[in-house]
Amino acid sequence: MRVNLEQAIAKLKRGEVVAIPTETVYGLAADASNENALQQIYAIKERPANNPLIVHIATKAQVGDWAAEFSPLAQKLAHAFWPGAFTLVLPAKPEVLKIVRAGESTVALRIPEHAMTQQVLKESGLGLAAPSANKSTQLSPTTASHVAHGLGEHVPVLDGGACKIGIESTIVAVEGDEWRLLRLGMIGEAAIALVAGKPANKNKQATPRAPGQHLLHYSPITPIKLFDSKSDLIDFATTHKGCVALMIGDGEIASGKTFNLPNNPHTLAEKLYDTLHQMDALNAALLLIEAPPNQTEWLAIKDRLSRASHKTL
Ligand code: AMP
Ligand code: MG
């Protein structure tokens, strides 16, 4: 069900859920200080209780409502990357609801850039928990119709067009003057290190962890097989009928439909989930996908595709 801005704000204030557009993917939003509202997010998404939620806020001034510490390093990163596809995990104030942080001692915060969602945040005055508006482990939505298709027509959706970034935010945990990368996104490690003035702490024992980063994630219903080269993919398709292919730049398979995405990580990311949704709708036996090149700017896309393909590995 489509709702307009005023209806979305009224619903959120009443403790109801609304799917909202962001520049990364559509989020299933609810008041992050309302336990009942948050329970609806977990129920609708069938999200495991140990997977915490990102709280979306309008301004840096609101960080102090949620985080117990906003260190100079965290402030530097916030200044460089907010508003945008960047999430900071910071030590939480004790009063932040346990259901938001899934029992962790930290809270994840993001200021999104999408104009409509900025307006929702500003006019409601709320912090909004908003994980991707899809069933847990399935493909993330980048349009209002993806949300309706994945969660059902009864879920209210604020339509803000197609998401411009197209994959989930980069997540960075900051404790004092140390930072760690918890999830890759289109803002890469090198850009963060440059702003931080130091490399990430890669100590495996370090906390916080990023719970909920399961190997099977971001996944279509149809199984996926990844190929390191175009020719391997094309060869496979000649002996396996009923497949659909996704290739980067040029190329096609003779035995089925081929989707081609641009050979540029940013424009490819913008179209990636929509293309996977379209491929999934064709009820093919298998989706054959050309793996991106081994260069750092493709790492986030590689991460999503390898998780999406996990069940066929
Ligand atoms: P999403 O489902 O895209 O909204 O992303 C939520 C992800 O953010 C979770 O799966 C966690 O990996 C990470 N996250 C959220 N809150 C925290 C937290 N308090 N500590 C560590 N990671 C978090
Ligand atoms: Mg998600």
**What's the confidence (pLDDT) of residue 312?**
41
Q: Which of 89, 134, 138 to mutate to test the pocket of ligand 1 (most atoms within 8 A of CB)?
A: 89
Evaluate: CB of 51 within 6 angstroms of ligand 1. Answer: yes
User: How many Å apart are CA 131 and CA 136, to the nearest integer?
Assistant: 10
User: How many Å apart are CA 47 and CA 129, to the nearest integer?
Assistant: 13
2-206 CATH: 3.90.870.10
| Structure token digits, residue 197 | 């003035």
DSSP annotation of 132: B
Evaluate: CB of 55 within 6 angstroms of ligand 1. Answer: no
Ion ligand 2 residue ranges (Cβ < 5 Å): 132
Instruction: Please name every residue paired with 186 in a beta bridge, in sequence order, or none if there are none.
Output: none
Q: Is a pLDDT exceeding 90 seen at residue 90?
A: yes
Report, as an integer, the average pLDDT of 97-115: 97
In the structure, what pLDDT confidence band is assigned to residue 313 with cuts at 50, 70 and 90?
A: very low
Evaluate: CB of 131 within 6 angstroms of ligand 1. Answer: yes
More confident residue, 206 or 235: 235
Evaluate: CB of 24 within 6 angstroms of ligand 1. Answer: no
User: How many Å apart are CA 3 and CA 20, to the nearest integer?
Assistant: 10
Place of tokens 């990023």: 210
| Structure token digits, residue 270 | 């913008």
User: How many Å apart are CA 237 and CA 255, to the nearest integer?
Assistant: 7
Q: Whose CA is nearest to atom 22 of ligand 1?
A: 210
**What's the confidence (pLDDT) of residue 310?**
75
CA of 212, closest atom in ligand 1: 10
Angle between helices 72-81 and 189-196 (to 10 degrees): 130
Q: Whose CA is nearest to atom 13 of ligand 1?
A: 210
Q: Which one of the ligands is nearest to 183 CA?
A: 1
Evaluate: CB of 128 within 6 angstroms of ligand 1. Answer: no
State the amino acid at position 85 in one-letter form: A
pTM of the model: 0.95
160-169, 181-190, 198-207: lowest mean pLDDT where? 198-207
Q: How far is CA 170 from CA 165, 180, 245, in A?
A: 11, 11, 28
**How confident is the model over 128-152, as pLDDT tens digits?**
999 999 999 899 999 999 999 999 9
| Helix, strand and coil in the chain, % to nearest 5 | 35, 20, 45
The enclosing H or E element of 27 equals strand 27-31
For 270, phi then psi, to 5°, come to -60, -35
Please tell me the distance between residue 276's alpha carbon and the centre of ligand 1 in angstroms.
23
Domain definitions of the chain by residue range: 2-206, 224-312
Q: Which of 50, 51, 215 to mutate to test the pocket of ligand 1 (most atoms within 8 A of CB)?
A: 51
Q: Whose CA is nearest to atom 4 of ligand 1?
A: 131
- What percentage of residues in the chain have a pLDDT greater than 70? 95
* 8 Å CB contact between 248 and 290: yes
Q: How many CB atoms lie within 10 A of CB 11?
A: 20
Evaluate: CB of 129 within 6 angstroms of ligand 1. Answer: no
Superfamily of domain 224-312: Threonylcarbamoyl-AMP synthase, C-terminal domain (3.40.50.11030)
